Amino acid sequence: MNRLKIFFTFILILVLFPSAGFSEEKEMERIVVTGTKTWIDAELLGSSVTVIDREEIEKSGEKDIAAILSRVPGFNVVSSGSRGGFTSIFARGGQSDYNLVMINGVQINQAGGGFDISSLTTENVERIEIIKGAHSSLYGSDAASSVINVITKRGSGKMKKASSVALGFRAEDAMILEHSSSISGSLEKLGYFISHQRILDEGILETNNDYKNNNFTANLSLEANDDLNLSFFSIYRDSKFEFPTGGAGDRFDAFADPDQGTKEESLVMGSDIVFSPTEWWENSFKLGYTRLDRENYDGPQPLELDSPFPSETLDKRISLEYGSSFFVDFDQASSIISTGFEYEKESFKTDSLNKSRKNYAFYAQNNFALLKKFFVTTGIRYDDNESFGSEWSPSIFARWKIRESGTEVRGGISRGIKEANFYENFSAAFGTIPNPDLKPEETLTAEIGLWQPLLDNAVELDLSFFQNKFKNIIAYSFTPFENGTNYENISRAKSEGAEAAIRFYPSNSLTLSAAYTYLKTDVTDDGGLGSPSFSEGENLIRIPEHSFSFNAGYSKNALNFDLSGNYVGSRDDVNWSEFPSTRVKNDSFFIVDAAASYEISVKRFVDKIKLFSRINNLFNKDYEDVFGFSSPGFSMISGVSVVR
């Protein structure tokens, strides 16, 4: 690690000296709302921000958000088996339930932070905003290692009707069908976007491995006048994933189960009212609602009502928020002061459990700019929760622009929290004693980074160094703790590492980029309960020490071509097929994907016709994303989309 620090110190010293050909100031293009809950340029924030826009998504050809996020430095996206299998995100060493996931600012995590991202698709997505690190100072619980905000499309201008259909195959002798349709536009001041997407995938296993996904989106926006804007969106998803294996994976199951699977129905709705009585004062009112009905079954469909096999959970969340932002602008200094109040009610229901809890919060944040060179963001949030009590979450981030060299240095420290799930707080399972007094798990984050343009902005270099300390991790013990429960905040871990990314623009048609992540994790205290998945002195499981990705994009006239690769280094995992289970080393793998499209303009009949094709796992690499589970081999899908 000392060598890594020396390397970063050398790079920092090097780029601080002016060089010929450097531009004076980076062009400001990317505007984000996730970092402050109001519109702000991403380059004014000291935190690590990534924005993936619609153009990048379309060029990749990917239809699953999980595939898009797997390209983000510091993110390890892990899927259990074929498409539709449970998919988690490990950000900078944080656990999979340390990521706050939102759609248009409405949280969609299950209570306690868990979220399966496998069924989120890209058809209705305008952009994805990502902030890495702990950000509970603005968002509260679950924002312990990253915040991911999926922004959906809106309609404007004349009516557009779009539809697409694609058919593909897998090396495992399976078929894939993807089709979508949408209508968008505006009626005077009312914008609308309505879409439907359906995915049918026969999977990678011979028996019982189908995946089906239906997504319906409606997004309305009304610009009532210069001072008042209203918006509403609704997303309904109905998905089904069949899997013939148990928890150890298909590579260890001697017999395939022909009737096992998971069904999900989810509804996400949100409404925003933004009122700006003056140029310097903005008020926002937000209402959010999420509902996730998940059923695990093992038996012929349809199931009888008295079947002993199905298990069903129902998660619901309703949230209300009022926010107020003041914009102060002087000649050499400016400030955006944001404050807000939030109310949230989470509920969770199973056959044996029916509980709810409420949270009240206040937050304040100040974005201060001096001489258009130095930017500081300070924030603090107070949460009053019915389960974990009261918590303060502060943060401070800064960015310094050195105009002579074009260098931008950024960094900061912050605190994140993650509340217990309902099972840990209220479980009614036989032989399990819950702990209603659990504290939230805690992340302390520190990071520093720099951005450097070279050769008149033809090359961009981005470096980050970070460290996370995870405290109060909730542990389970079969034998009750001294407090008389099976759960207690007694474990600790840490992670530290670096991200290096470079982007090269050799011409207007060609873009080349590459990213490398070094990540070291360590369990520093297992509470004396050492287990294969969490043992003192060992790495955290499913998180590689080394990962690398590259992308080459070519775009000229009507032709687009995209080639990408993703290397995931060896990482610790657990072999659950043995008793007792044992820790194993899962092999590294390198996957290459490709996509191409060609647009045809036929103005007389339609506005645009696009022919497209996507190849995943080009070289048919045999690998296991999760130990024991086969991962998809080569697949190719081609189709046509029409806009009129």
Residue 235 token pair: 């997303």
CATH number assigned to the domain comprising residue 396: 2.40.170.20
Residue 282 token pair: 């903005």
Greater pLDDT, 214 or 24: 214
361 vs 392: CA distance, rounded Å: 10
Ranges assigned E (strand) in 188-227: 190-201, 211-223
- In sequence order, the β-bridge partners of residue 41 are 31
pLDDT bin (cut points 50, 70, 90) of residue 246 is confident
Q: Which of 190-204, 306-320, 423-437 has the lowest mean pLDDT?
A: 306-320
Q: Is residue 80's pLDDT more than 60?
A: yes
List, for residues 83-126, the tens digit of each pLDDT value: 999 999 999 999 999 999 999 999 999 999 999 999 999 999 99
610 vs 435: CA distance, rounded Å: 56
Give the DSSP letter string of 420-463: PPHHHHH---TT----TTPPPEEEEEEEEEEEEEETTTTEEEEE
- pLDDT for the residue numbered 189: 93
Please compute the mean of the pLDDT values over residues 265-274 and round it to a whole number.
Answer: 97
- pLDDT for the residue numbered 167: 98
List, for residues 356-399, the tens digit of each pLDDT value: 999 999 999 999 999 999 999 999 999 999 999 999 999 999 99
Residues in CB range of 267: below 8 A, 6 or more apart: 234, 235, 236, 237, 289, 290, 291
Ranges assigned E (strand) in 202-310: 211-223, 228-242, 260-278, 281-298
For 17, list phi and psi in degrees, rounded to 5.
Answer: -85, 130
Does a cis peptide bond (omega within 30 degrees of 0) precede residue 302? yes
List, for residues 521-567, the tens digit of each pLDDT value: 999 999 999 899 999 999 999 999 999 999 999 999 999 999 999 99
Please compute the mean of the pLDDT values over residues 221-246 and round it to a whole number.
Answer: 94
Q: Is residue 170's pLDDT more than 90?
A: yes
Strand pairing report for 146-152 and 40-41: unpaired
Q: Is residue 273's pLDDT more than 50?
A: yes
pLDDT bin (cut points 50, 70, 90) of residue 13 is very low
30 vs 42: CA distance, rounded Å: 6
458 vs 512: CA distance, rounded Å: 10
Residue 608 and residue 593 in contact, taking contact as beta carbons nearer than 8 Å: no
- pLDDT for the residue numbered 253: 80
365 vs 281: CA distance, rounded Å: 15
- pLDDT for the residue numbered 301: 58
Residues in CB range of 637: below 8 A, 6 or more apart: 166, 167, 168, 169, 176, 178, 613, 614
Q: Is residue 4's pLDDT more than 60?
A: no
Give the DSSP letter string of 315-374: EEEEEEEEEEEEEEE-SSEEEEEEEEEEEEEEEEE-SS-EEEEEEEEEEEEEEEEETTTE
**SS3 state at 584:** strand
Please compute the mean of the pLDDT values over residues 613-640 and round it to a whole number.
Answer: 97
- pLDDT for the residue numbered 39: 78
Percent of the chain as helix, strand, coil, to the nearest 5? 5, 55, 35
323 vs 342: CA distance, rounded Å: 9
**Sequence-separated contacts (24+) of 269-272 with Cβ below 8 Å:** 269/106, 269/232, 269/233, 269/234, 269/235, 270/103, 270/104, 270/105, 270/106, 270/232, 270/233, 271/230, 271/231, 271/232, 272/104, 272/105, 272/229, 272/230, 272/231, 272/232
pLDDT bin (cut points 50, 70, 90) of residue 288 is very high
88 vs 179: CA distance, rounded Å: 25
- pLDDT for the residue numbered 35: 67
- pLDDT for the residue numbered 1: 45
Please compute the mean of the pLDDT values over residues 493-502 and round it to a whole number.
Answer: 97
Residue 470 token pair: 């995870």
What distances in angstroms separate CA 213 from CA 164, 216, 530, 640, one per listed residue?
16, 10, 39, 20
Q: Is residue 305's pLDDT more than 80?
A: no
- pLDDT for the residue numbered 310: 60
- pLDDT for the residue numbered 32: 67
- pLDDT for the residue numbered 299: 74
Q: Is residue 101 exposed (0-12), middle (13-18) or buried (19+ Cβ within 10 Å)?
A: buried
Domain count, the chain: 1
Q: Containing H/E element for 129? A: strand 125-132
Angle among Cα 116, 122, 123 to the nearest 5 degrees reads 130
Greater pLDDT, 516 or 457: 516
- pLDDT for the residue numbered 173: 95
Share of the chain above pLDDT 90, in %: 84
**Which residue type occupies 39?**
W
Q: What is the largest CA-CA distance in the chain?
A: 77
Instruction: Note down the domain range covering 191.
Output: 2-643
Using alpha carbons, select from 125, 114, 120 the residue that is nearest to residue 89.
114
Please compute the mean of the pLDDT values over residues 479-490 and round it to a whole number.
Answer: 94
Residues in CB range of 351: below 8 A, 6 or more apart: 311, 312
- pLDDT for the residue numbered 22: 28
Q: Is residue 9's pLDDT more than 60?
A: no
Q: Is residue 286's pLDDT more than 80?
A: yes
Using alpha carbons, select from 588, 587, 595 the residue that is nearest to residue 564.
595
**Which residue type occupies 590?**
F
pTM for this predicted structure: 0.93
Q: Containing H/E element for 468? A: strand 459-476
